[in-house]
Every structure is written in C-alpha cells, then in structure tokens.
Amino acid sequence: MAKKIAEEWFSKGQKDIDDAEFLLNNDRALENVAYHIQQAAEKYLKGFLIYNDWKLEKIHDLVKLLEETIKIDKSFHRFSIPMRKITNFYFESRYPTGHEVQYTKQELRNAIKEIKAMINLMNKSINLNFKGEK
C-alpha cells in the first residue's frame, strides 16, 4: 500500500517538474516556475518518506522533509543546500515578502537539475523508476 501511495506522490511531483520546465522554456513568469519546482521537491520527498512508513504531515518545509529523509538514507545529505534554497521558492512565489524576489532562468534550471538528481537517488534507494535526471 505504501508503495502505491508513494507512486501517486511521485507522479504528481513529476507533473510539477514537467510544468516547471514547460513554463521556463516558454518564457512564463519565473515565480510560477519556482513554485512548481518547490512543489515537485516536496511531493517527491513526501513520496519517499511515505514509502518508508512516514506518517504524512502537512508541511512545506523541504529542509525538515529532507532531515527526515536523511534519517532513512544519509546519502541525501548532499541535497541540504539546494533544498534550503528551494524551500524558499514556496513562500517567495506565493506570499508578499516585503521586497521583490527575482529569479534567474539559470538558477531555476539548476534547481530542476538538483531535484532530478535527488529523484535518481530515490530510484536507486527504493528501486522505483521515475524520470529523474536525463
């Protein structure tokens, strides 16, 4: 059962990656790209945790989700810095921050690349086959 639910989370996360790449490649609002990037990371992390019997929590903080992931597999530690940055995408793209937030296309491409690398590690860790890094 956990595997099926995890696959549903991964599928939704992949849709967010696809949307982020589409928006980025079609010169759409970069804050919307950032939002989908954060959502993809969140859904993949939650899917991985659920697969490993984690009880779902209503949380958007990728750092906390990654900390839980690292308890399961220490090799995810390499994503600590990227997840710290990407977790801010959620709040920056959805709520007033008191200053204008600007993203660069390269910054967003790098974030997508990190998520795909994380997906690859998840695939190896739990023997699932999702897109990840091409």
The CA–CA distances, whole Å, from 118 to 40, 48, 96, 97 equal 11, 11, 29, 28
- Provide the whole-model pTM: 0.91
- Residue ranges of domains in the chain: 2-126
Sequence-distant (≥ 6) Cβ neighbours of residue 125 within 8 angstroms: 48, 72, 73, 75
* Run of H or E residues at 57: none
Residue 12, CA atoms < 13 Å, CB-side half-sphere: 14
- Residue 99: pLDDT band (50, 70, 90) is low
Average pLDDT of the chain, as a whole number:
90
What is the average pLDDT across 78-104? 83
Q: Which fold has domain 2-126?
A: Four Helix Bundle (Hemerythrin (Met), subunit A) (1.20.120)
For 92, the token pair is 């920056």
